[in-house]
Structure 1
Amino acid sequence: MYFYLGQSDTKLDTDPAYIVVMSGGGIPSESGLMRTYMTAEVAHKFKTAKIIVTMPGDYTDTLSSSYLMKKELVIRGIDENRIIFENRGTNTRSQALEVGKLMDKKLPTLLVTSPEHMYRSLKSFQKIGFTKISGQAAFSHPVEASFLFEDNELGGNNMIPNIGNNTQLRYQFWSHLNYQIIVYREYVAIAFYKIKGWL
């Protein structure tokens, strides 16, 4: 379900004129940093695209999340003159409406957000008239190193079962539990948006 939510059902047939990065939990936060990282990656690929940062607040305040998102993009080699702020929207629907005021909704647009937020974001933008919009989800990548270990080599109480070779118990169970919470929360948000007529 998490992977499905992160897929874009539309593809652009031309390079995007705009890259829109959704706000997330601010900077620093996992969602904010992942989204700005992915935005920088696609902005390097599409060098003429303008970047719209959707984050409420005062973007001239050097301590604000909107300013810090811009700073993250600049640190990653993005020219600050490419960056535009949408700082009025406070949820996905209002951010889509505000972005629609900043640009021609018929221009090709690439949306960057967290995987679980992609479906609702794309549908929200399409609902208000964006006709050429696709998404790039900011999926994280697993660490390539092995985290296996032998408990007995590390000392301590040998009466406890060896779990050093059981990554299912140590990591996957807890990761999947976290994904369930994220997905269930997002499906409730999608249902709410549909009832409101926002999707």
Structure 2
Amino acid sequence: MSRFLRRTVSCLFGLAIRVLGWVTLLWLLAAMTSLPWNLLEKLAADMPGGETLTPEVLVVLGGGGIPSESGLIRTFAAAQYAKQYPQAQLVVAMPSGEGDLTGQRMVDELVMRGVNRQRIRQETQGRNTREQAVYCHKLLAASGAEPVVGIVTSPEHIRRSLLTFHQAGLTQLKACPAWDSYLEVDLTYGADEVKATQWNPVSDSLLVRYKFWDRLVLQAKLLREGVAILYYRWMGWIK
């Protein structure tokens, strides 16, 4: 390898390290602000006009199955929305193969939480948001007039889901984000209360103990969703 080539590679490597360092620093600094939550709220918002609609059908998009964090949170939220909109039917969109009872477990979870089984149908073919939108459109189109559809999914997934379902032919859509719930109890404490023998600078800092780490996890979800939105636009599945 020539001296010029070695120097070029060395410079590029050094530049990459510096860029990575700055990106990491900005990533960590963002986790100390409300920016991730502000972005999440925007992704979870209704499309124009959606806030005034009353869902006639609630489509629950399967997450990681049952039990899983996203699957349980979405199912719990769907049961709450089913109580809020008692006239709405429910569609559980969860891919299921032969012998796979994941979708049925979601149905059972909804029933356990008070939803009448007669209100629930399953869409078992969609393996991603695009396919779920297409197959749900076919399922609902067979019923006649286009219904108002509420999409129940994770907050960061709402925007892409609404755009995808709209592109698939369902135009009356309402956002039904499945929000996590958090303790409202004051979790600060004094070092003397727990008889700490060492200096404890984080006992009254929820940012250091919880919020910083929660926001790092959230930022990873937002990054993944941003990449997914770009991919869906590239594929022509959303506009």
Give TM-score, length-normalised by structure 2.
0.77
State yes or no: 1:124 paired with 2:180. Answer: no
Aligned to 2:8: none
Aligned partner of 1:175 among 191, 211, 214:
214
State yes or no: 1:32 paired with 2:71. Answer: yes
Aligned to 1:93: 130
CA 1:149–1:48: 2 relative to 1, 3 Å: same
Aligned to 1:196: 235
Aligned to 1:67: 104
SS in 2 for 1:19: strand
CA contact (8 A) 1:12 1:133 kept: no
State yes or no: 1:54 paired with 2:101. Answer: no
Q: Which amino acid in structure 2 is aligned with residue 140 of structure 1?
A: D
Give TM-score, length-normalised by structure 1.
0.92
Percent of pairs identical after alignment?
35
CA contact (8 A) 2:53 2:174 kept: no
Question: For 1:174 and 1:136, how far apart are their aligned partners in 2?
Answer: 26
Aligned partner of 1:5 among 14, 28, 43:
43
CA contact (8 A) 1:12 1:108 kept: no
CA 1:157–1:13: 2 relative to 1, 3 Å: closer
SS in 2 for 1:153: coil
| CA-based RMSD | 1.8
1:126: how far off? 0.3
Q: Which amino acid in structure 2 is aligned with residue 55 of structure 1?
A: M
Q: Which amino acid in structure 2 is aligned with residue 111 of structure 1?
A: I
1:14: how far off? 5.1
1:117: how far off? 0.3
State the 4+ residue runs in structure 1 displaced beyond 4 angstroms. Answer: none
Instruction: Name the structure with the higher helix share.
Output: 2
Question: How many residue pairs were aligned?
Answer: 196
- If you compute each CA radius of gyration, which structure gives the higher value, 1 or 2? 2
1:11: how far off? 1.5
State yes or no: 1:76 paired with 2:113. Answer: yes
State yes or no: 1:22 paired with 2:61. Answer: yes
CA 1:6–1:13: 2 relative to 1, 3 Å: closer
